A and B are shown apart, each in its own frame.
Chain A
Amino acid sequence: EVQLMESGGGLVQPGGSLRLSCAVSGFTFSSYALSWVRHSPKKGLEWVSRITDSSSSTYYADSVKGRFTISRDSSKNTLYLQMNSLRVEDTAVYYCAKESVAVMGYFDYWGQGTLVTVSS
């Protein structure tokens, strides 16, 4: 059974940092691209970042480029999102999502999400 489990969310002040983790199981971790997607009531679903199966390429939405870093550790079957210089508008539930294939896939499995609140 495919499972993705996010952790690391919480309350942080503007300008602060947070690292999210996503532990995965039930599939060959190194064979699929993974993404972070966030949801807020104001913006709906927003794709944040993506990393290819081999970690050779990473991609970011303009709204987070230069502030967020995505990475993955195959030895731990874990996906990460390092979030720096956080802004109020980054407040959202963050989901990790598995792509259906190694390249150009849709999101076939999602985690339950972790809430990030940026507030003073």
Chain B
Amino acid sequence: DIVMTQSPDSLAVSLGERATINCKSSQTVLYSSSKKNYLAWYQHKPGQPPKLLMYWASTRESGVPDRFSGSGSGTDFTLTISSLQAEDVAVYYCQQYYTTLRTFGQGTKVEIK
């Protein structure tokens, strides 16, 4: 199985400041034939289902604010919130869909400082 490791486990950021979450996979999730990274990011708030933010590592889902961006390739990925808003308080997960056995990172909790 591909192991997904996120860092940090939690972070506190002031409103309007940048938040950066890292995700590392134990093996590449870059499919050579398509040159696509099979990596997604989700936002999860208490009492709600997870919400898709990014797919193919850097494609923003429709309706997701452009302060959210994704980058990286191969085994190392980053989710950036350029200017943290109060409604962004949540746990964020990366997830690989490169293999039939899907795996998530352990989650990163984002709070307001």
Known A108-B52, A111-B49: A47·B103 in contact at CB below 8 Å? yes
Q: How far is the CB of A12 from chain B (nearest CB, A)?
A: 22
A106 touches B100 (CB 8 A): no
27 contacts between A and B (CB under 8 A): A35-B102, A37-B104, A39-B50, A44-B93, A44-B105, A45-B44, A45-B95, A45-B104, A46-B104, A47-B103, A47-B104, A59-B101, A95-B50, A105-B97, A106-B38, A106-B52, A106-B55, A106-B95, A106-B97, A107-B40, A107-B50, A107-B95, A108-B52, A108-B61, A110-B50, A111-B49, A113-B49
Whether A61 sits at the interface, judged by CB under 8 Å, is yes
Instruction: Number of B interface residues at 8 Å Cβ cutoff, please give it.
Output: 24
A104 touches B97 (CB 8 A): yes
Q: Is the interface of B mostly helix, strand, loop or mixed?
A: loop
Q: How far is the CB of B71 from chain A (nearest CB, A)?
A: 17
A92-116 interface bits toward B, Cβ cutoff 8 Å, 1 = contact, 0 = none: 0001000110001111101111000
B28-67 interface bits toward A, Cβ cutoff 8 Å, 1 = contact, 0 = none: 0000000000101010100001111001000001000000
How distant is the Cα of A111 from the Cα of B38 in the complex, in angstroms?
Answer: 22
How distant is the Cα of A113 from the Cα of B105 in the complex, in angstroms?
Answer: 20
Instruction: Number of A interface residues at 8 Å Cβ cutoff, please give it.
Output: 24
A2-42 interface bits toward B, Cβ cutoff 8 Å, 1 = contact, 0 = none: 00000000000000000000000000000000010101000
B107 touches A45 (CB 8 A): yes
Q: How far is the CB of A68 from chain B (nearest CB, A)?
A: 14
Q: How far is the CB of B103 from chain A (nearest CB, A)?
A: 6
Whether B106 sits at the interface, judged by CB under 8 Å, is yes
Q: B44, B93, B100, B102 — which one has the most chain A CB atoms within 10 A of its CB?
A: B102
Whether B68 sits at the interface, judged by CB under 8 Å, is no
B107 touches A107 (CB 8 A): no
